[in-house]
Amino acid sequence: MPVSPTTRLCCIFVFRQTKNNMGKSTEIKLVGQPVMGQLLNLIDKPAFSSLVKRLGADHYYKAFKSWDHLVTMLFGTLSRCDSMGEICEGMRGLRGKLNQLGLKKAPAKSSAGDGLRNRDSGFFEALYYQLVNQHSGFLSDSRDLGLTLKELFIVDSSTIRLFSDILKGVGRNPKNDGKKKGGLKVHMLIDAVQSVAKFVRITEAKMHDKNFLKDIQVPAFSMLVFDRAYNYYKQFALWTERNIFFVTRQKKNALYEVEETVSEQPVEKGKAGVSKEEIIKIVYKSKKEKKELKLRRISYQDDKNRLYTFITNNFTITAEEVALIYKKRWGIEILFKKMKQNFQLHYFYGENENAIRTQVWCTLIAQLLLTVLQNMAKVKKAFSMVATLVRIHLISMLDVYELLKSTKREWASPKPAEASLSLFT
């Protein structure tokens, strides 16, 4: 049956409109702001200004204000620059896009270096906690812990080596160079259902991990989990009085007395299970007095026949839950892995202690903002992929949410045959 020219024109129009409508949902949209500007929009500007005024962060600074300092550090952290010179030269090339980041001009290297050395790192610490409170609704993980507990906190630390003796290192002197390098230690407490730090303390690497436990403030009936480097019986007794519970591994050379054997059963090879549960008594010194602490001691074998010994002051949860709680401790190891692999912590932009602390806090702020962005976009991409996309397109005029959601591998373009269609073929 022959087709009239009018019918043919309508068919071509409908085909083109259908194709265009199908392509709109997968194309990456252009916006009037670079990706970094959209990331900075996650910071509440009035709250930021209030914090600057309250802490006096802009006193004695005429040109390099607190916002300029933050943007400069985040640009270097997200783009993984190796030095302050690279950061300033890179920002100088942005030119017309700087006003969209809230800057009038690129900072001079000398001004940025002075600000990094002199502006108190405590300002960036306070800003980090302010952002955690601001975005707490986007940080919760919907996954079930599989436990009867609601408040589970994980404690651990990570050491960052430095190439100068700014902060005292940890460990023995190496044989080759004869002198150990400087270093700092990042002590961290995270919520098990969130992927950011709730409490952070940065110290010299030589500081013992157990000293960090004194500064932790958590509500009653919370559960803390950490490795055996944090064994501190005096602090365990204080937590027990305040109804704060913990789970940790027992040291191999620990001295204790068994008061009661609750259960004991062999576990087959290749299977996971509790082999023994005991009630033990530990004697420790407090103010030159000997005191006693009663704990549960649980021996557990995993499916690879490895034996673990846990101690806890909680007598209500099951022995299997104790083993599962300690397994959740690996969540903080993943967080440290994200921080060290996706951000620049091998080279530092300043050579004094305040500059190093500032860079670490800005790294934590960058990690927090990317985590919020990942959760707001509701994508299943890995954190490393989100960090990579943001780094590559840091100054591109793309919608960052469409960038993370889009799965299309090429831009939509009409085929040559379709482009030549007309009424007169």
Domain that holds residue 301: 240-313
* 44 shares a domain with 127: yes
276 three-class SS: strand
* 359 shares a domain with 290: no
* Intra-chain end-to-end CA distance of the chain, in Å: 18
Cβ–Cβ under 8 Å, residues 206 and 169 = yes
Tell me whether residue 261 is in a domain: yes
* 362 shares a domain with 304: no
Name, in order, each residue with C-beta under 8 angstroms of 251's C-beta and a sequence gap of 6 or more.
228, 231
Listed residues 252, 284, 313: the one ending a domain: 313
Tell me whether residue 356 is in a domain: yes
Total domain count for the chain? 2
CA 338 to chain centre: 7
* 355 shares a domain with 267: no
- Quote the tokens at residue 101: 């980041």
Sign of CA dihedral 83, 89, 90, 91: positive
Cβ–Cβ under 8 Å, residues 133 and 372 = no
Tell me whether residue 89 is in a domain: yes
Listed residues 259, 291, 313: the one ending a domain: 313
Distance CA 421, CA 9 (A): 10
Sign of CA dihedral 201, 362, 350, 386: positive
Distance CA 155, CA 174 (A): 29
Within 13 Å of residue 162, how many CA atoms lie on the same side as its CB?
26
* 288 shares a domain with 367: no
* 379 shares a domain with 296: no
Tell me whether residue 151 is in a domain: no
What pLDDT shows up at residue 70? 96
Listed residues 313, 342, 365: the one ending a domain: 313
Whole-structure pTM value: 0.80
Kindly list the distances between the CA atom of residue 373 and the CA atoms of 35, 38, 321, 354, 370, in Å, as whole numbers in the listed order.
Answer: 11, 10, 33, 29, 5
* 382 shares a domain with 298: no
What pLDDT shows up at residue 19? 43
Distance CA 371, CA 377 (A): 10
Name, in order, each residue with C-beta under 8 angstroms of 365's C-beta and a sequence gap of 6 or more.
70, 74, 124, 127, 128, 131
pLDDT tens, the chain, 425 aa long: 555 544 443 443 444 444 444 444 445 566 678 999 999 999 999 999 999 999 999 988 888 999 999 999 999 999 999 999 999 999 998 877 898 899 999 999 999 999 999 999 999 999 999 999 999 887 765 555 555 566 889 999 888 876 555 555 455 555 555 455 557 888 999 888 777 788 999 888 888 888 899 889 888 889 999 998 898 999 999 999 999 999 999 998 899 999 999 999 999 988 999 999 999 999 988 777 888 999 999 999 998 989 999 999 999 999 999 999 999 888 888 888 888 888 878 788 888 889 989 999 999 999 999 999 998 998 888 999 999 999 999 999 999 998 898 776 665 555 555 544 444 44
Tell me whether residue 147 is in a domain: no
* 382 shares a domain with 294: no
What pLDDT shows up at residue 17? 45
* 126 shares a domain with 43: yes
* 123 shares a domain with 42: yes
Tell me whether residue 66 is in a domain: yes
* 307 shares a domain with 377: no
